[in-house]
Amino acid sequence: MIPISNPRGQLEQIQTEIEQTIRTVIESGSYVMGPHVERLEQEFAKKIGVTEAIAVANGTDALVLTLQSYGIGSGDEVITTPFSFFATAESISRVGATPVFVDVDPKTYTINPQKIEDKLTPATKAIMPVYLFGQPAAMDTINQIANYYGLIVVEDACQAFGATRGGQMVGSLGDAACFSFFPTKNLSTIGDGGIITTSDNKIAKRIRSLRVHGSSQKYFHDEIGFNSRLDEIHAAVILVCLKYINGWNNHRIELAKKYYQTLAPLTCMKLPYADKKGEHTYHLFCIASYQRDKLKGFLDKQGIQTGVYYPCCIHLQRAYREHGYQDGDYPIAEALANTLLAIPLFPSMTELEQDSVVHALEEFEVAQSW
């Protein structure tokens, strides 16, 4: 079976180093928010090009704590995309605010900036673009709108570590940005983890307090916070992975290039758009096909795993049924939910494996024309 992603294959290449660093943590006696977390925060901030990085328990918490640190809550609205992992909108609802969806661009699958102004109200406080599948959003236009209307921009960069726009790293393009270290993400650990980047020292300070029960001095609590600390083991593993991430991301880009070349002649599918203003990191390589489910079944029979990201748009999730959305409210997002299919692409993928995927897709194309 060729998997859709392979976190194990990635770590296998550096397993000795991972084992050594975990042993160091065990022997240190410091297990939560110790020296490794501190070093991770410093190195991560430097890599992204911001002054502060704050490590937390996972990517969802990163989003929640960031929104709360800006004072966003009940009565506020946050503009975001209906086509993302559920956690994007969930974090907005979690702080008591309302997610207001704006349909995505049919090419990049990221929030369509042309449609944002229609949805602004006096309650709008922030815009949360998502760099879906590793593709940066149209940040130049989004930042212009945000500046004009005095809105905060929180980047959901959970799928896009290493992606750039206009030569700048994602994570440095808005007021604050959130990353996840979940095992399938480009930069990941052997469990859960997350981090927030910002160059706003005041916000960083508030997030540092929020993640440890609203406390900046031990046993004195300024506000109701969270327990969202990062473990030393994860910080240590991520620090090792940080040394290899450029190579891994470059290999993803190479694999994507080969898919673009070899799959270009096929008419039964559309390839993902690569925006020339930025660098996509191919967290997922999603092709679009009107015969998506048939294609999925065909590949499955050949031992090729595929994935549907995402089969149900956020506005149509049962959790949001009280918001009264209907089929057809966000036609582009809904069309993508019905047509996209992620095919295998991961750093430890071999040439042979990729050839098998390409051949299977070629076979599907021929089988369809009969």
Ligand X SMILES: *Cc1c(COP(=O)(O)O)cnc(C)c1O
- Residues lying near ligand X in the complex (CB under 6 A) are found at 58-60, 84-85, 87-88, 130, 156, 158-159, 180, 182, 192, 194
Structure token digits, residue 288: 């679009």
Closest distance between ligand X and the C-beta of residue 32, in Å? Answer: 17
Of 77 and 192, the one with the shorter C-beta distance to ligand X is: 192
Closest CB to ligand X among residues 3, 356: 3
Q: Is 77 helix (H, G, I), strand (E, B) or coil?
A: strand
Nearer to ligand X, 180 or 354 (CB): 180
- Contact indicator for 291, 367 with CB cutoff of 8 Å: no
Q: How far is the CB of 213 from ligand X (least distance, A)?
A: 20
Determine the Cα–Cα distance for residues 215 and 15; give it in Å rounded to an integer.
37
Query: How near is the Cβ of 228 to ligand X at its closest, in Å?
Result: 10
Task: Note whether 73 and 93 are within 8 A (CB).
Answer: no
Least Å distance, CB 132 to ligand X, is 7
Identity of the residue, 21 or 66, whose beta carbon is nearer to ligand X in the bound complex: 66
For the CB of residue 86, give the shortest distance to ligand X in the complex, in Å: 8
The tokens describing 290, both together, are 């009107």
Return the number of the residue (103 or 353) whose C-beta is nearest ligand X.
103
Pairwise CA distance, residues 328 & 309, whole Å: 19
Q: What is the dihedral of CA 313, 318, 320, 324, to 10 degrees?
A: 90
| Three-state DSSP class for residue 273 | coil
Query: Pairing state of beta strands 176-180 and 98-101?
Result: unpaired
Residue with Cβ nearer ligand X (336 or 361): 336
d(CA 155, CA 152): 10
Q: CA-based Rg of the chain, rounded to a whole angstrom?
A: 21
How many residues does this entry show for the chain? 370
Tell me the closest approach of the beta carbon of residue 221 to ligand X, in angstroms: 25
Residue (44 or 182) nearer to ligand X, CB: 182
Q: CB atoms < 10 A from the CB of 324, how many?
A: 8
CA atoms within 13 A on the CB side of 353: 18
* Contact (CB, 8 A) for 85 and 91: no
| Residue facing ligand X at closest CB distance | 59
Of 131 and 259, the one with the shorter C-beta distance to ligand X is 131
From the CB of 182, what's the least distance to ligand X, in Å? 4
- DSSP string covering 147-180: HHHT-EEEEE-TT-TT-EETTEETTSSSSEEEEE
Which residue shows structure tokens 């089929």? 327
Pick between residue 11 and residue 361 the one whose CB is nearest to ligand X: 11
Nearest distance from residue 47's CB to ligand X, in Å?
Answer: 19
Report in angstroms how near the CB of residue 194 gets to ligand X at its nearest: 5
Q: Is 363 helix (H, G, I), strand (E, B) or coil?
A: helix
Quick count: other Cβ atoms within 10 Å of Cβ 296? 18
Pairing of strands 164-165, 278-279: antiparallel
Residue position matching structure tokens 């993928």: 349
Using the minimum distance from each CB to ligand X, give the nearer residue, 285 or 298.
285
For residue 334, the minimal CB distance to ligand X (Å) is: 18
